[in-house]
């Protein structure tokens, strides 16, 4: 996108928010960089240059605009719709891997050399993994400075900086303000009276966003003790690298209100990344809907409620386990099976608001349970224990770094894993935007009602025109039914 100069100039001159996060505008005369929708008068085209990432702008000596705050743009949709090395690396960087394990740790997760990863990131994004992680640390620091009363030293280490001096220098370089000056610009009401470890954030997204099926699905399938819908918010517990957390997510017209309670503030970046991924907030709904509207059957569904997202997960292994528990049973039965596992094997947590009691059991805890205690048919018990065994041994990886094609092949090789189970995991856990469920009962009912081909093979052939967004087509087809997953809870 950033190499198409004419298109970028048009986006900046029209202040098109759709392109926020796709590229960044650096102004040669002022030495600042902005998001395309910056509210100030657009600079002359001759004074604009374009970069693919905030990190590349910073590398080139530009500072962040104080008006449009480009560091708060939604992430590029590229990283969630691709499965190549660069996209997988960007998902891992967003998940804090470089901060925790360095570039060698990133390379180990991806199975490539550090040199090859750095070369590909530089070629596409204009910055290497360290610079990209540094830009992310600066954004995390700004969030903590503006939303908490924490001392600056605590913020520095919570944001992932190894030294206070590096923290001060980075904040001053990126925002042209010292940490103290940045806090002084923040209204006091935003930092006063905050409980320890509690953060209130705004998660941006590209409009439109239809919250009905997104939050409806999460609420209707919520596992008691781990998830709940309360007072207009979806709440759940989070297992994080340094501890645990509880998040409350409330849909608003122009953002998602996010309230995080963390046992360790070093988990802030990871928690935000996983919540954004679960809600599919970095999607480009205009591109998706425009493609689906080319089918006369889907066009009325899209026009009626545009901006549907794919409800995903904060924990890929957890979702795979729940997918197996939900095989050939109702939503209510699947919740019951999962709740039993949580009560018996989940780690207890303290929820100040009540309602949430456990983290979903880790794969290590589930690997240690007695299979005969599982209240399910023998064949599904074998499916369950085989999945858990491979996850616990590390022979099956469902993390954000996974190669979608390879992971699908591994899942299909497991006993009891058919196309439906593999595709629902691909759609909601792996994040494949083109995953499709032609054998799903809800999809077949919708197809029959809409006059689409009814057999899985014929429907798959027809759905080729929806690629690469078939997972979003699934959401529109499901929405033709009266199932609770399609409605925002009241």
Q: Give the residue numbers annotated as catalytic, written as ranges.
A: 34, 440
Per-residue three-class SS string for 167-229: HHHHHHHHHCCCHHHHHHCCCHHHCCCCCCCEEEEEECCCCCCEHHHHHHHHHHCCCCCCEEE
Q: Are 306 and 480 in contact (CB under 8 A)?
A: no
Per-residue three-class SS string for 11-44: HHHCCCHHHECCEEEEECCCCEEECCCCCCCCCC
Cα→Cα distances 79→70, 105, 108, 209, 301, Å: 18, 19, 19, 19, 27
Q: Which residue has the tokens 């180990």?
A: 108
Q: Are 134 and 102 in contact (CB under 8 A)?
A: no
DSSP state of 234: E
The token pair that represents 457 in the structure block: 């093979």
Percent of the chain as helix, strand, coil, to the nearest 5: 50, 10, 40
DSSP state of 315: -
Alpha-carbon distance of 110 to 98, in angstroms, equals: 12
> Among residues 123, 134, 57, 50, which one has the least CA distance to residue 86?
123
Q: Are 242 and 267 in contact (CB under 8 A)?
A: yes
Residue 229: strand pairing partners:
234
Could you tell me whether strands 63-64 and 198-203 are parallel, antiparallel, or unpaired per DSSP bridges? unpaired
| Cα dihedral 450, 218, 406, 110 sign | positive
Alpha-carbon distance of 240 to 372, in angstroms, equals: 30
DSSP element (H, E) containing 260:
strand 256-262
> Among residues 385, 438, 435, which one has the least CA distance to residue 405?
435
Could you tell me whether strands 244-251 and 24-27 are parallel, antiparallel, or unpaired per DSSP bridges? unpaired
């Amino acid at each position: 996108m950033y190499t198409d100069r004419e298109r970028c100039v048009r986006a900046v001159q029209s202040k098109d928010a759709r392109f926020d996060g796709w590229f960044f505008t650096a102004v040669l005369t002022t030495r600042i960089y902005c998001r395309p929708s910056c509210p100030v008068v657009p600079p002359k085209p001759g004074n604009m240059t374009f970069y693919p990432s905030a990190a590349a702008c910073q590398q080139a000596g530009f500072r962040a605009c104080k008006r449009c705050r480009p560091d708060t743009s939604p992430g590029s949709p590229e990283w969630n719709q691709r499965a190549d090395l660069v996209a997988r690396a960007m998902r891992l960087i967003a998940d804090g891997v470089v901060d925790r394990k360095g570039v060698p740790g990133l390379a180990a997760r991806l199975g490539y050399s550090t040199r090859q990863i750095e070369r590909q990131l530089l070629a596409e994004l204009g910055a290497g993994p360290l610079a990209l992680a540094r830009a992310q640390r600066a954004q995390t620091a700004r969030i903590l400075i503006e939303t908490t009363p924490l001392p600056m030293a605590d913020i520095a280490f919570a944001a992932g900086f190894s030294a206070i001096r590096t923290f001060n220098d980075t904040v001053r370089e990126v925002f042209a303000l010292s940490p103290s000056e940045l806090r002084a610009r923040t209204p006091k009401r935003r930092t006063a009276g905050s409980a320890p470890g509690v953060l209130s954030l705004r998660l941006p997204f590209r409009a439109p966003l239809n919250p009905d099926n997104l939050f409806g699905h999460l609420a209707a399938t919520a596992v008691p003790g781990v998830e709940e819908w309360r007072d207009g918010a979806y709440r759940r517990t989070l297992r994080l690298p340094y501890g645990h957390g509880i998040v409350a997510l409330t849909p608003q017209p122009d953002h998602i209100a996010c309230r995080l309670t963390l046992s360790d503030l070093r988990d802030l970046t990871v928690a935000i990344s996983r919540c954004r991924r679960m809600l599919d907030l970095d999607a480009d709904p205009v591109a998706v809907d425009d493609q689906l509207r080319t089918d006369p059957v889907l066009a009325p569904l899209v026009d009626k409620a545009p901006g549907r997202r794919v409800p995903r997960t904060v924990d890929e292994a957890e979702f795979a386990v729940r997918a197996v528990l939900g095989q050939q049973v109702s939503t209510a039965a699947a919740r019951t099976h999962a709740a039993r596992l949580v009560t018996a094997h989940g780690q207890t947590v303290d929820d100040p608001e009540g309602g949430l009691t456990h983290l979903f059991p880790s794969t290590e805890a589930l690997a240690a349970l007695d299979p005969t205690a599982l209240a399910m048919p023998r064949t599904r018990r074998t499916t369950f224990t085989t999945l858990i065994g491979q996850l616990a041994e590390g022979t099956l990886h469902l993390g954000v770094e996974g190669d979608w094609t390879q992971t699908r092949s591994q899942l299909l090789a497991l006993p009891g894993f058919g196309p439906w189970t593999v595709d629902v995991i691909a759609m909601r856990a792996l994040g494949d935007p083109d995953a499709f469920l032609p054998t799903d009962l809800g999809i077949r009912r919708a197809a029959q009602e809409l006059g689409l081909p009814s057999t899985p093979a014929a429907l798959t052939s027809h759905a080729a025109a929806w690629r690469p967004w078939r997972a979003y087509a699934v959401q529109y087809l499901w929405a033709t039914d009266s199932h609770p997953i399609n409605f925002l809870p009241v």
